[in-house]
Structure 1
């Protein structure tokens, strides 16, 4: 009699009937392929019930060259064509996939180009290597950027503390000024009140004395009028002289009251004008976020100098890699600022335009001094020797006229003027004052101390 299917045992994993199954101690049976795959993963438990065994080694009879088992040295299942069970030895260039010899002659690959697997694997490895290198480079970029972000996050806290301290200090100075000014004006009111009250008291006292004298004279005359005719006539002349000798008519002189209009008229404006003596307006403010690695700014952000013991700052996109520093963006169509350079022996002062985050794409125009020589850079390169050392440089930018000019500020003598420079950004483009120095003597932006100039700049800005 032939063998029946029920005489064989089903594999507990693939549920196929197996002629020579392997039965575990837990009585679950498996075909050779399923058990081989399971043990290759390092498992020592039954795939069905999970019973753990001390050993899951496959007997020798399970590695024989029998149906369903690949002998040592033969191709694995993943190396065979899923349709024809032949080795995948060719690569279709049109479909970009591995095929076997039978697939090559199939209708779906008619007219396609094929290459042996070993020929194409090299180029694919190279592409993978290139992609791998790019991925590693991108990972390094992400790591560098993350480190920079952490540095910036830490520096933001440092900046916050610094800014808060400066704001508190500035308002404390303003409060002290206002308190002092308030006390001075209140003291002036109290002083005037004291003087005018004393004058009024003296006037009242004098009037009281005159009133007493007049009252006595009136009473004396009334008594004589009531006396006998003989007595009246005997004292008539004396009584008449007494009643006729009257003091001058009392008058109240002007400016007796407090000068309220003087004390409170335009009070806020006059205090603001007085405040101008302790404050100043700078037409240019230097931006610490653009500060080069070897520079240092003053507390009020209006002067810059070279600093070897420099502060550690993060590498944010706006920060200059050339060692310069930018002022805040020029918002007016016409802006002028003066820079004190008298004690500095190595400096550049000028204008830069473009995106501060992309300095390599910026255009610029500078005037400078180094090695005892003056020079200009940016569209008009040259040098000159003025008769006397320049103390102040004046920079003027007129966006409407498309001009940049440099002058000696104290005598207002023009040094150079550039009209329509190449790549001029236009009236809406971003332009920035720019500064550089390699001297410990600061480049100082001259403030506008005059109230009228200060007000003009403020109103023009807003």
Structure 2
């Protein structure tokens, strides 16, 4: 009797479970919602279905989003059933369709995902393959990505090599700069030592001269003391005579007792002129150092120099390199064009510098914008961001798009460039005769750099030092 009741209860539970099972996920309803067509689904199952189309998963009737309502009665029944039976849903296998709970046996080429046979209606316009035929399609596309990544790996390896070379080049740069710094400090140190020796000699000379003068005065005074003592003795001796001889000889004695020499005293300037030696000493040393210090309004940027150019250690001259230099291909370096920029760029202000071009048959000097092309050949022109004076084949021209030829009586060997960014002017002058050659105008919005193209010549193009003026108040 009890066994029959148990079987009857089991059948009832099974029937109830069927009523409480979501037709999509085949599990007990979770947060069930009711559609206008009276079919119920788990809220999450319905939302997944809505991503495909807005039809009821059972009767395929259309419905608008938001028409579904919470089925509280069904939700309560599900909770009661779960409490009474302790039933736990079986986890859905990854190889099963989460919408239809059937094996994933097909591949949708458009959506790039596996589907079951019941999903065919949802992908009616898509091309479907069996998993056996779909897997090679995926492998082929992934193979292309592998090839791309393999090429990228090779590229990254090459870049790693370039970066390592850059590290070694930085070490080389630091070594060269250290040598230059030490050499310059040593040169200045020698100049200071020379100045120190000269000033100490001047001090010693004045000390010797002043002391010698005083010693001469002391010697003369000592002689005068002896003479005075002798005179005193003579007068005292005469004063010891009888009255008549003393009076008779008085005039003669008085004449002998005359002293015409000046009394000894310290004269003006007899002491050391200490102020001359130590007054404002630091300033005097610094002022004197102007003879040993050169100021350059512009120096060259070795990181922008073409590999075919060789720069001097102090970055003030440039010429052709006998062979292509091994340097990192950093973004700011000119290659293949044979140019080098100034180390400092300008946004505003007035600037002026002179360049010795000598008798080189080909050169370019002027200014350019920071965005000027670095990794490709280009024609030097104001339309390409370069305002320059050019010499080629004996003809001096300004870098306007029409190549303005300049008539000069004598080819200049020193070019003076004046840049006035407030007025938007860059003018060129013959630095030797101070004759104006040409002025180019432009509203400069980009950063502007001095540019130098010495041509492939063994004779260097050299920057001229500027004037140093000391103002005191």
Q: What is the TM-score with the length of structure 2 in the denominator? A: 0.69
1:373–1:440 distance in 2 versus 1, CA, 3 Å: same
Q: CA deviation at 1:386?
A: 2.1
Deviation by residue 1:372-396 (Cα, 9 ceiling, x = unmatched): 2222325563333422111111111
Q: CA–CA distance in 1 between the matches of 2:409 and 2:222?
A: 81
The Cα shift of 1:162 comes to: 0.7
> What is the CA–CA distance in structure 2 between the aligned matches of 1:441 and 1:284, rounded to whole Å?
20
Q: CA deviation at 1:367?
A: 1.5
1:222 CA displacement: 3.3
C-alpha separation in 1, matches of 2:139 and 2:416 = 63
Matched-pair contact (CA < 8 Å) for 2:334–2:374: no
Change (3 A) 1:140 1:417: farther
Match status 1:396 vs 2:418: yes
Alignment deviations for residues 271-327 of structure 1 (CA, whole Å, 9 cap, x no partner): 333322232111101011111110000111011111122431111222222221111
State whether structure 2 residue 345 is matched by structure 1 residue 330.
Answer: yes
- Please give the alpha-carbon distance, in whole angstroms, between the structure 2 residues aligned to 1:129 and 1:404: 58
Q: Could you report, residue by residue, the CA deviation over 1:199-228 in whole angstroms, capped at 9, with x for unpaired residues?
A: 211111111111221222223323443544
**1:135: Cα distance to partner?**
2.9
Shift of 1:350: 1.3
Matched with 2:464 is 446
In 2, the alpha carbon distance for the partners of 1:86 and 1:191 equals 112
The answer to whether the aligner puts 1:261 opposite 2:283 as a matched pair is no
- 1:172 positional shift: 0.5
- Give deviations 1:343-364, integer Å, cap 9, x for gaps: 3222111112225797779722
1:347 corresponds to 2:360: no
129 and 347 in structure 1: CA distance in 2 versus 1, 3 angstrom threshold: farther
Q: Distance in 1 between matches of 2:308 and 2:410?
A: 30
Say how many residue pairs are matched.
Answer: 368
Deviations 1:108-145 (A, max 9, x none): x3x76431227977876675455445434433432232
Contact 1:347–1:439 (CA under 8 A) maintained in structure 2: no
Checking the alignment, whether the CA contact within 8 Å between 1:375 and 1:383 is kept in structure 2 is yes
Separation in 2, partners of 1:176, 1:357:
45
1:178 and 2:192 are equivalent in the alignment: yes
Q: Distance in 2 between matches of 1:132 and 1:385?
A: 64
Are 1:102 and 2:124 counterparts?
A: no
What residue in structure 2 maps to residue 158 of structure 1? Answer: 172
- Per the alignment, residue 232 of structure 1 pairs with 246
Distance 1:217 1:410 in 2: 79
1:390-429 correspondence runs (5 A): 390-421=412-443, 424-425=444-445, 429=446
CA offsets 1:395-447 (integer angstroms, 9 cap, x no match) = 111111111111211222222212225xx22xxx4221111122111111111
Cα distance in 2 for residues equivalent to 1:420 and 1:201: 76
What are the Cα deviations for residues 244-292 of structure 1, in whole angstroms up to 9, with x where unaligned?
Answer: 3443344544332223233334433333333222321111010111111
Q: Distance in 2 between matches of 1:376 and 1:357?
A: 19
1:435 to 452, 457, 463: 452
Residue 386 of structure 2 is matched in structure 1 by 364
Q: Please say if residues 324 and 434 of structure 1, whose CA atoms lie closer than 8 Å, have aligned partners that are also in contact.
A: yes
Q: Measure, in 1, the Cα distance between the counterparts of 2:461 and 2:431.
A: 14
Q: Over residues 139-166 of structure 1, what are the superposed CA-to-partner deviations in whole Å (9 max), with x where a residue is unaligned? A: 3432232121101101111111111111
**Does 1:319 pair with 2:319?**
no
Residue number in structure 2 paired with 1:91 = 108
SS of equivalent residue, structure 2 residue 293: coil
Partner residue of 2:218 out of 180, 184, 204: 204
Distance 2:372 2:172 in 1: 23
Tell me the equivalent position of 1:219. 233
Are the aligned partners of 2:304 and 2:341 in contact in 1 as well (CA < 8 Å)?
A: yes
Does the 8 A contact of 1:305 with 1:442 survive in 2? yes
Contact persistence 2:188–2:292 (CA under 8 A)? no
The range that moved more, 294-303 or 248-257, is 248-257
Structure 1 residue runs without a partner (length 5+): 1-76
The alpha-carbon deviation at position 366 of structure 1 amounts to 2.0
> Relative to 1, partners in 2 of residues 1:378 and 1:123: Cα closer, same or farther, differing over 3 Å?
farther
SS across alignment from 2:388: strand
How far is the alpha carbon of 1:84 from its aligned partner? Answer: 6.3
Report the alpha carbon displacement of residue 194 of structure 1 after superposing the two structures with TM.
1.4
The aligned counterpart of 1:28 is none
Deviations 1:70-118 (A, max 9, x none): xxxxxxx99987976657234174x54221323324xxx3x76431227
Alignment partner, residue 83 of structure 2: none
Give yes or no for contact 1:375–1:384 (8 Å, CA) kept in 2: yes
Change beyond 3 A, Cα 1:318–1:216: same
* SS of 1:114 mapped into structure 2: coil
